[in-house]
Structures are given as structure tokens and as C-alpha cells.
């Protein structure tokens, strides 16, 4: 069992035109990300004063749906795939944006759609067999209707020991994508009357494919969009019951008592029973209006929400087939309960025989003392567990985010910044929790001494033996109860480790698939290009000849990219009988980026220069399209520029050429800038001969067929050339300029004559 406090986020909606007609003043002031102050309007009663409220999150008028999702639900909702129940509901007066926040299904999606996207994406990435079923119901004047089956009349709710709250006869439809759910909601909405509570239930069945005992975990994601008023415009009766339950639970929490909570008084609270005080991670979005006109309702919402924020739930993971260990614990527990009942019976019997009022009262005092001690012990153990759990989770998240950061750093600045921020926040939180944990552990270390003191007190008392026996048994019972509880907590932590491990495995699997894809892409690419072109020039890159699919192909081997070892299973790759050197991955890309399939163009000293030059786009019909495009500097020379042509083959070719362009140049550092080039050209220092020399030195020993030449349409990037290929172009250009000059002269003459 783990304790999980109900989380509450407050969202303030913007003032609308109706509000502005009354006043443009806001009654709410957000002071930080967790606090807001309610300022009574001037007309309000004198008694009212400013009041500050603290929640898990406060979102002001400008917060977006995305902000809300990322901060509140994004990670929490994934617990449902680890067997926890998750509940999300909105709470607040009419028109405060409850449906907008939860249910918006177009443009700026609400939390539901975002959560579903997240869930389905994760389900697709996981190896376990996960099935999701969707049910959609409406509560209308204490009657429950199935919106996916209008043949179903008023449905019945019952409590099931294994499955929790169950709605008899409710239709459950298998869903595999967000779109399917949207379609069903749209269908359901047609059956729905306005101003009613609607509840969406997603039941998740998870089969453990790895374990031997074939367990199926069941968990629920419940989303409730509540109506504040009923059809007659009165405050909904179910909301009033809900309010009652919240205040009783909150009171119980502060006074540490076990009260009776009237869940059964309304259908809504019956359904939400597990979400309050049950086994659920619950998130409440309290929606409020900042308008002067809605002040009363706003205060009501804030009061109930802050009460709800103090409630703790007990999270347990439910499985259909319990494991043996679980059975053992259950039987120990049952046995203890029976023993206790038996002892009580014996004691009653004895006390009926000889009423020993004084002794009885003394025993009662001892009893209270013992119970208080063990309640304290249990509370502290629960807190220790809660912090251990959170610490484990944060550590895992930090690790995961740090690895993600390594992958996106330098590629996607936005994501990297976001990750860095998240890591920083998590580390702060981690530090905080570790401090708390130490505090609680210190308190826990005194427990065994205190237990012994209790026993000694009982033994040294003047009580008769039967009372002493009762009290020592009581102590023993509680010791066992605490031990059973500790076993359960350890089980929970083990479960957490197991699910974290599974997540890492899933990531690794996707990394391997990704790398296989990169390798396959590269091979395809090399086969189609390796045949037509010499690879001699890549002097620093190894080349080999291999027979691939019956074709002899020259492959160039690029160095292996740096990838974190555990993300790259070298062993698995070597078993494919290839040298790891032959993989060329420009950079390990995230699966998302791979989808876009952007060619990777590394920044070389050339691209820096070339990027500064404007890039002409040359049509296919132009003879120049066969060569990498160039820029005319004067009638004799041109500078080679980076691609771009409409010819697909060429652009691929040039992409290769760009990718390794610096291999052609002897002295990379001395590539002239555009200004320097112009200077050189005007001083005519650069002759055709010197150009050729610098151009061909790296391939001087190779045959003319292989060497890079103008005939093969390759130009030296950033250098100046004279080429027969550009002659036609140049001549045309000169002709055009001359024509223009003649035309100008004609015009000038004509105007002079006038």
C-alpha cells in the first residue's frame, strides 16, 4: 500500500465580455506557481478579508492547455500502465472552463485527448500485452445511463473486492487509438442531455508476458466532467454529496480518525469512491472565474479544492490472479483478525464474570497507549515509503532525461532546454525528499526501544494475568501488522523497479530497431552510389569491396558514431557479421527525427563560406544543372556553390560531395573568403594552371577516369574555376549584358536628341 495525496491544480479562466461589462477587476491574484490570493470585491461584506490558498499548481489566465498537461498529468497518467488507478476530474462553478480544460476535442486539445495520445504512444512502445476498454456514462438525476448503449436503462453500481467499483451491464468497447475514442465520445454526446455529469472510464488490462504466472493487472483511468448545476438551475445534489465527502475526509486526515464517509448517498460519489481514500492517483482541476460577479462560487471552489488537496489515497496494484506471496500475507492478516476477535471474546467473557472496573479502565489506558504507538509507527513507515518511492521515481526520471538530453543536445535546442530545466527541478525535489526521508528514518530508529518499553510497562503493572495476556497479545498483533505492512511496501518498491527496468528495455529495443534502420538506409544508399563513382578521394575513409545482393559494390566506412553503450547493443550487431565500422549514422537521431528523413549535412569550413553566398537555383534544362551550381564572379571565373538543382540524382550526388567535401582540399584552413576570392581574381594571380594544380593534387596518381574533373561535374567548393562547361553560360551572360548596354546607350541617345 502506498500513500498518494490527491493533487489539485487551479486554473483561472480569462475574463469574458460579460464579466468585463460588470468590472475588469480580477478577484484572484497569482503570487507564485502554487499560490493565489483571493481579494474580495469592494461591494462584499466588510467581514471578508484577503485569503491566500496553496495548491500543487496554480495556472493563470494565460496558461495554455499544453502547459497544464505537461505540468500536471503527463507523467501521472502513465501510472495507469503500471497497474495504478488514475482519476482526473474537473471541479468548479458553471462556465468556469471545466469542459474546455478536460474535454476540448479540436484545435487546442484538452487534457483528455493529450492523455490518450500519451497512453497510446506508450502502449505501442511496450512489449506487454495491453488492452484498453472504454465506457462512457452519464449521471442524470441519480440515474446512471450508458452513453454507448442507449438500450441500457438505469445501471447499477456495486463494490467488488477484486475489481473495486463495478458498474453492472456497462458497455466496454476495445479501443486502440485516440481517434477511436473521439468517435465514440461524439457518438455518446448525441445521446447525452446537457448539464449532466459525464464519466469516461478507461479500463486497462495488462498481461505480463514475461512472468510465469500469467497475471493480468487491471487498472482504470477515470475522467469525470462534472456539472455544477442540475437541469433546474439548482446546485447539483451529487456535487453537494461530493462536497460533504471531501470535508469529512479532510477532517479525518487532520484529526487522524476513521470516519464514515457517505459515498453511497450519490451515484457520483459511489463511482469516485476509489478516487477518494481509495487506491487511486487523483488529479483535480479546480476551475475558477476571476470575475467580481462569481466571487462567492470562486471561494467555495477554492475552499473545497484546498480540503481535497490534503487527502491521502492508498495506492495498490490490483491483479486478477494473486501471486502466492500475496496469498500468504492475506492469510496471515486474516488469522490476526480472527485471533483478535477471539481475544476480545475471551476478555468480554472474563469481565462479565468479575467486573473489575478499575482494572478495566487501566487496561483501556494501556490499550490506547499501544494503539497510538503503533499508529504512529505505521504513519512514519508510510511516510518513509512514500519518500522512498518518490526518490526512486525521480532518480529514474533524472537518469532518463539525462540520457535523452545527450541525444538531443546540439540537435534540438528547445527540447534540450526543456530537459535541462526538468532535470534541474527534479534534482531540487530529490534533495528535498532525501532530507525528509532522513528525518523520518531517524524517528523510525527508536521504534524497537519504544516497543520494549511498552511490553515492560505491561508486565510490571498490577493487572491480573488475563489482562496482561490480552495486552501483550495486542502488542504482538500490532507488531505483526506493521511487519505485514512493511512486506507489502517492499513488494511495491520491487514492482516499481520491475516496471522501470521494463521501460529501459523498451527504450533499448527501440534504439536497436532504429540503428538497424539507419544501417539498412546507409547500405541502400551506398549500393546505389558506390557503383557509379570513385571513392578513391575519400583518402581518410576506409573503403572495401563487398558483394551485396549479387552486385559488387565499393563501400566506404565511416567511423562509428558515439553512442552510449547501453543504448547500442554491439553484440547484437556483430552477430549480423558486419564490421561495426561500416555503420554510418550522422548522429543518433530520435525516432521522431528519423521520420522526417532530413539529409544530414555536416558543417564544414566550406559550408560556412558557401552559406554566405547566395544560391542560384538552376533549372534542369540548363547545361549547368549537370554541374554543381556556381556563381559568376566575372566573365572568366566562377565559384562553386552548394547544390541546389531540380535534378534529383544530382542533388543526392552533391549531398555526398558536401558531406565529405573537405577531403578534396589540401589545406582546409586556407580556403579564401568571398572577398579574398574577388581580390585574387582581380589581381589575376590565380591562373588556370595553379587552380588545376591545387585541385588535382590529391588525385594526381589516379587514372583520369577516376579523378575529379569538370567533366565529372565536380567543382571545388569555394574556389574559382574556369570551365568549358560554363562557357556557354558565360557567353550568354556577356551577350545579355552587352545587349543591355546597347539598349541603354540607345535610350540615352534618344533622350539627348529630344
Ligand X SMILES: Nc1ncnc2c1ncn2[C@@H]1O[C@H](COP(=O)(O)OP(=O)(O)OP(=O)(O)O)[C@@H](O)[C@H]1O
What minimum distance in Å lies between the beta carbon of 282 and ligand X?
Answer: 19
Buried b (16+ CB within 10 A) or exposed e, 468-501: bebbebbbebbbebeebbeebbebbeeebeebbe
Q: What is the distance between the alpha carbons of residues 257 and 648, in angstroms, rounded to a whole number?
A: 76
DSSP secondary structure letter of residue 69: I
What minimum distance in Å lies between the beta carbon of 241 and ligand X?
Answer: 17
Q: What is the distance between the alpha carbons of residues 315 and 742, in angstroms, rounded to a whole number?
A: 89
Binding site for ligand X (CB under 6 A): 13-14, 92, 94-100, 227-228, 287
What minimum distance in Å lies between the beta carbon of 107 and ligand X?
Answer: 11
Q: Is the dihedral of CA 651, 655, 656, 661 positive or negative?
A: positive
Q: Is 99 part of any known ligand binding site?
A: yes
In the complex with ligand X, which residue's Cβ is closer, 97 or 164? 97
Q: Is 31 part of any known ligand binding site?
A: no
Buried b (16+ CB within 10 A) or exposed e, 580-613: eebbbbeebbbeebeeeeeeeeeebbbbebbeeb
Q: What is the DSSP string of 512-577?
A: HHHHHHHHHHHHHHHHHHHTTS--TT-TTSEEEEEEETTEEEEEEEPPPPP--GGGS-HHHHHTTS
Helix locations, 261-356, DSSP H: 267-271, 295-308, 324-353
Q: Is the dihedral of CA 656, 659, 663, 665 positive or negative?
A: positive
In the complex with ligand X, which residue's Cβ is closer, 94 or 207? 94
Measured CA to CA in angstroms, residue 393 lies from 134, 162, 387, 558 at distances of 29, 27, 10, 39
In the complex with ligand X, which residue's Cβ is closer, 228 or 295? 228
In the complex with ligand X, which residue's Cβ is closer, 1 or 237? 237
Cell numbers found for residue 608: 560556412
In the complex with ligand X, which residue's Cβ is closer, 92 or 315? 92
Q: Is 728 part of any known ligand binding site?
A: no
What minimum distance in Å lies between the beta carbon of 13 and ligand X?
Answer: 4
What minimum distance in Å lies between the beta carbon of 227 and ligand X?
Answer: 5
Cell numbers found for residue 700: 594526381
In the complex with ligand X, which residue's Cβ is closer, 204 or 287? 287
Q: Is 95 part of any known ligand binding site?
A: yes
Nearest position to ligand X, beta carbon: 97
In the complex with ligand X, which residue's Cβ is closer, 236 or 492? 236
In the complex with ligand X, which residue's Cβ is closer, 228 or 387? 228
Q: What are phi and psi of 645, to 5 degrees?
A: -125, 175
What minimum distance in Å lies between the beta carbon of 133 and ligand X?
Answer: 26
Task: Report the run of H or E that residue 187 belongs to, with start and end.
Answer: helix 178-191
Q: Is 94 part of any known ligand binding site?
A: yes
Q: What are phi and psi of 102, to 5 degrees?
A: -90, -45
Q: Is 506 part of any known ligand binding site?
A: no
What minimum distance in Å lies between the beta carbon of 185 and ligand X?
Answer: 15
What minimum distance in Å lies between the beta carbon of 284 and ligand X?
Answer: 14
Binding-site residues, in ranges, read 92-99
Binding-site residues for ATP, in ranges, read 92-99
Amino acid at each position: 500500500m502506498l500513500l498518494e495525496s490527491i493533487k489539485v491544480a487551479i486554473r483561472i479562466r480569462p475574463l469574458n465580455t460579460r464579466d468585463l461589462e460588470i468590472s475588469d477587476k480580477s478577484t484572484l491574484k497569482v503570487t507564485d506557481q502554487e499560490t493565489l490570493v483571493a481579494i474580495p470585491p469592494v461591494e462584499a461584506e466588510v467581514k471578508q478579508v484577503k485569503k491566500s490558498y496553496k495548491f500543487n499548481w496554480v495556472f493563470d489566465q494565460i496558461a495554455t492547455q499544453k502547459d497544464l498537461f505537461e505540468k500536471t498529468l503527463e507523467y501521472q497518467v502513465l501510472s495507469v500502465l503500471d497497474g495504478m488507478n488514475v482519476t482526473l476530474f474537473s471541479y468548479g462553478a458553471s462556465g468556469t472552463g471545466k469542459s474546455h480544460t478536460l474535454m476540448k476535442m479540436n484545435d487546442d486539445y484538452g487534457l483528455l485527448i493529450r492523455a490518450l495520445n500519451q497512453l497510446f504512444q506508450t502502449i505501442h512502445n511496450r512489449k506487454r500485452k495491453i488492452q484498453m476498454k472504454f465506457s462512457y456514462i452519464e449521471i442524470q438525476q441519480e440515474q446512471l445511463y450508458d452513453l454507448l448503449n442507449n438500450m441500457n436503462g438505469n445501471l447499477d453500481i456495486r463494490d467488488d473486492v477484486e475489481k473495486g467499483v463495478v458498474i453492472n451491464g456497462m458497455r466496454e468497447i476495445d479501443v486502440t487509438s485516440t481517434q477511436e475514442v473521439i468517435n465514440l465520445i461524439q457518438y455518446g454526446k448525441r445521446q447525452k442531455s446537457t448539464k449532466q455529469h459525464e464519466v469516461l472510464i478507461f479500463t486497462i488490462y495488462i498481461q505480463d508476458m514475461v512472468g510465469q504466472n500469467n497475471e493480468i493487472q487491471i487498472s482504470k483511468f477515470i475522467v469525470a466532467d462534472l456539472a455544477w448545476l442540475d437541469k433546474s438551475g439548482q446546485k447539483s445534489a451529487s456535487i453537494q454529496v461530493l462536497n460533504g465527502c471531501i470535508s469529512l475526509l479532510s477532517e479525518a486526515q487532520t484529526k487522524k480518525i476513521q470516519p464514515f464517509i457517505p459515498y453511497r448517498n450519490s451515484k457520483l460519489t459511489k463511482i469516485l469512491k476509489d478516487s477518494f481514500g481509495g487506491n487511486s492517483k487523483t488529479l483535480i482541476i479546480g476551475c475558477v472565474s476571476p470575475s467580481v460577479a462569481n466571487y462567492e462560487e470562486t471561494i467555495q471552489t477554492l475552499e473545497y479544492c484546498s480540503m481535497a488537496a490534503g487527502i491521502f489515497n492508498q495506492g495498490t496494484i490490483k491483479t486478477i490472479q494473486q501471486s502466492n506471496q500475496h496469498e500468504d500475507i492475506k492469510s496471515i492478516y486474516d488469522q490476526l483478525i480472527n485471533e483478535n476477535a477471539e481475544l476480545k471474546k475471551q476478555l468480554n467473557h472474563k469481565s462479565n464474570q468479575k467486573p473489575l472496573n478499575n482494572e478495566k479502565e487501566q487496561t483501556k489506558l494501556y490499550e490506547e497507549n499501544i494503539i497510538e504507538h503503533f499508529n504512529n509507527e505505521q504513519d512514519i513507515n508510510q511516510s518513509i515509503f512514500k519518500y522512498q518511492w518518490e526518490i526512486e521515481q525521480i532518480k529514474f526520471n533524472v537518469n532518463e532525461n539525462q540520457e535523452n538530453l545527450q541525444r538531443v543536445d546540439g540537435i534540438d535546442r528547445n527540447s534540450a532546454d526543456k530537459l535541462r530545466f526538468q532535470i534541474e527541478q527534479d534534482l531540487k525535489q530529490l534533495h528535498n525528499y532525501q532530507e525528509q526521508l532522513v528525518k523520518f528514518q531517524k524517528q523510525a530508529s527508536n521504534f524497537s526501544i519504544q516497543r520494549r518499553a511498552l511490553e515492560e510497562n505491561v508486565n510490571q503493572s498490577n493487572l491480573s494475568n488475563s489482562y496482561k495476556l490480552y495486552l501483550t497479545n495486542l502488542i504482538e498483533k500490532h507488531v505483526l501488522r506493521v511487519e505485514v505492512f512493511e512486506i507489502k511496501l517492499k513488494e511495491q518498491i520491487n514492482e516499481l523497479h520491475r516496471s522501470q527496468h521494463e521501460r529501459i528495455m523498451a527504450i533499448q529495443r527501440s534504439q536497436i530497431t532504429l540503428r538497424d534502420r539507419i544501417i539498412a538506409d546507409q547500405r541502400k544508399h551506398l549500393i546505389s552510389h558506390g557503383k557509379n563513382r570513385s571513392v578513391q578521394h575519400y583518402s581518410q575513409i576506409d573503403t572495401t569491396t563487398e558483394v551485396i545482393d549479387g552486385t559488387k559494390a565499393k563501400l566506404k566506412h565511416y567511423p562509428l558514431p558515439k553512442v552510449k553503450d547501453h543504448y547500442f547493443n554491439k553484440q547484437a550487431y556483430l552477430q549480423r557479421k558486419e564490421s561495426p565500422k561500416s555503420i554510418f549514422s550522422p548522429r543518433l537521431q530520435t525516432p521522431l527525427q528519423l521520420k522526417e528523413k532530413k539529409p544530414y549535412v555536416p558543417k564544414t569550413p566550406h559550408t560556412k563560406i558557401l552559406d554566405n553566398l547566395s544560391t542560384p537555383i538552376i533549372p534542369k534544362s540548363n547545361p549547368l544543372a549537370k554541374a554543381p551550381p556556381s556563381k559568376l564572379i566575372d566573365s572568366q571565373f566562377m565559384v562553386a556553390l552548394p547544390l541546389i538543382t531540380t535534378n534529383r540524382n544530382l542533388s543526392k550526388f552533391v549531398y555526398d560531395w558536401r558531406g565529405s567535401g573537405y577531403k578534396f582540399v589540401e589545406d582546409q584552413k586556407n580556403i579564401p573568403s568571398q572577398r579574398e576570392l574577388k581580390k585574387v581574381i582581380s589581381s589575376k594571380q590565380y591562373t588556370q594552371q595553379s587552380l588545376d594544380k591545387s585541385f588535382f593534387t590529391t588525385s594526381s596518381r589516379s587514372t583520369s577516369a577516376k579523378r575529379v574533373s569538370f567533366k565529372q561535374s565536380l567543382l571545388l567548393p569555394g574556389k574559382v574555376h574556369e570551365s568549358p562547361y560554363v562557357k556557354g553560360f558565360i557567353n550568354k551572360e556577356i551577350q545579355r549584358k552587352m545587349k543591355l548596354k546597347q539598349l541603354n546607350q540607345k535610350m540615352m541617345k534618344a533622350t539627348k536628341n529630344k
